[in-house]
Amino acid sequence: MKPENETVWSDELAWRCAACDRPLELGQVSVAYMNNSFTTEMPHCPGCGLVLVPEALALGKMAEVERILEDK
């Protein structure tokens, strides 16, 4: 489940964790919906693990997969 183009990541990776004051890194996180779970790459804080779900991902691929799982 990746955003359509790589520039999205670079935009999102500019965010920093406010609590840890550290830059975000790309890494595998777990995602779950309707008794299905899988892992995918997303920006997150290497310190506290706070994950950023980018807007393009939430409204694009994620919404699409949500609908597919709801229709299973």
Partner 1 sequence: MDQTELRQWEQRCIQEEPPECTAACPLHVDVRALNAQLREGRWNDGWQILSRTMPLAGILGRICDAPCETRCKRNAAGGTIRIGALERACVNLAAGGYRIVPLPAKRKAIAVLGSGLSSLTVAWDLARKGYAITLFEPGLQPGAGLAARFPDLLTTDIIRAELAWLEKWGVRFETGQPIHSQAFLSQTLTHFQSIYIGLEAVSSPEWNLDSDPKVFAGGGDPSVIYQAAQGRWAATTMDRTLQKVSLTAGREKEGPFATRLFTSLAGVVAQPAVAMTDAHGGYTADEARAEAGRCLRCECLACVKVCPYLERFGAYPRKYAREIYNNESIVMGTRTANRLINSCSLCGLCETVCPEDFAMQELCLQTRQSMVAKGKMPPSAHEFALEDMAFSQSEAFLLARHAPGLDHSSHLFFPGCQLCASAPGQVAALYDHLRARLGAVGLMLGCCGAPAHWSGRQVESEQILDLWQHQWEALGRPQLLLACSTCYRMFHEHRPQVPIQSVWETLSTVGLPETKCSFAAPLAVHDPCTTRDAPHIQAAARHLLVSLGGTAAELALGREKTECCGFGGLMESANPEIAQAVTRRRALLSSHDYLTYCAMCRDRLAAAGKRAVHLLDLIFPQADTPDPAGRPRPGWSLRRENRARLKAGLLKGPWGESAPGAEEHRRLRLHMAPDVAERLEARRILTEDIRQTIAQAEASGQKLRHPATGRFRAAFRPRQVTFWVEYGPAAEGFEVFNAYCHRMEVGRP
**Using CB under 8 A as the criterion, which residues of the chain lie in contact with partner 1 when the complex forms?**
14-19, 24, 27-34, 42, 44, 48-53, 55, 58-59, 62-63, 65-68, 70-72
Is 6 or 67 the residue whose CB approaches partner 1 more closely? 67
Name residue 44's beta-bridge partners: 25, 51
Q: Phi and psi at residue 27, in whole multiples of 5°?
A: -170, 170
Q: How far is the CB of 24 from partner 1 (least distance, A)?
A: 7
Integer angstrom CA distances of residue 1 from 18, 23, 54, 69: 26, 22, 12, 14
State which residue, 6 or 42, has the beta carbon closest to partner 1.
Answer: 42
Least distance (Å) from partner 1 to the CB of residue 56? 9
User: How far apart (Å, rounded) are the C-alpha atoms in residues 27 and 69?
Assistant: 24
